[in-house]
Amino acid sequence: MLICLLGLVMITACSKETPTEIKMITPEEMESLLELEDVQLVDVRTPKEYETGFIAHSQNIDFNSPTFDEDIEKLDKTQPVILYCKSGGRSAKCAEKLKAAGFVKIYDLEGGITHWRHEKLEVKTFD
């Protein structure tokens, strides 16, 4: 009986997948991640907002675009993704969508690009 119970516990424990966690990160933590890991950096603001300044090596996928769901499918679900917007609202919603879509590692920049700029970190433009 004990062996059967132990076997059942092991099967149950092994069958549970670890749920994807959305981790809020500071600008400093994001800088470290960008240096250490091969991450996909995604700006979810509108193209017009993106043109006013963006974080280097980011790609723009507009959260409000009608093609948003198709656009995020082009990302690699097995690679970490860092999301940011202006202040954190849209990126939080996007993070939930990525989680539902099966992405494995999701980071959300706390306070968005506004916090990034406040920390005096570099922002690029199309000059």
At 46-71, the pLDDT tens digits run 999 999 999 999 999 999 999 999 99
Give the pLDDT confidence score for residue 18 in this predicted structure: 56
pLDDT tens readout for residues 24-50:
999 999 999 998 878 999 999 999 999
Which structural domains are found in the chain, ordered by start? 18-118 (3.40.250.10)
Is the model's pLDDT at 9 over the cut of 60?
Answer: no
Region 113-119 average pLDDT: 90
Is the model's pLDDT at 10 over the cut of 80?
Answer: no
Give the pLDDT confidence score for residue 127 in this predicted structure: 67
Judge contact between 81 and 57, C-beta under 8 A: no
Give the pLDDT confidence score for residue 122 in this predicted structure: 76
pTM, to two decimals: 0.82
Region 12-24 average pLDDT: 65
Q: Which residues are CB-neighbours of 38 under 8 A, at least 6 positions away?
A: 79, 80
Q: Whose CA is closest to 84, among 19, 24, 32, 20? A: 24
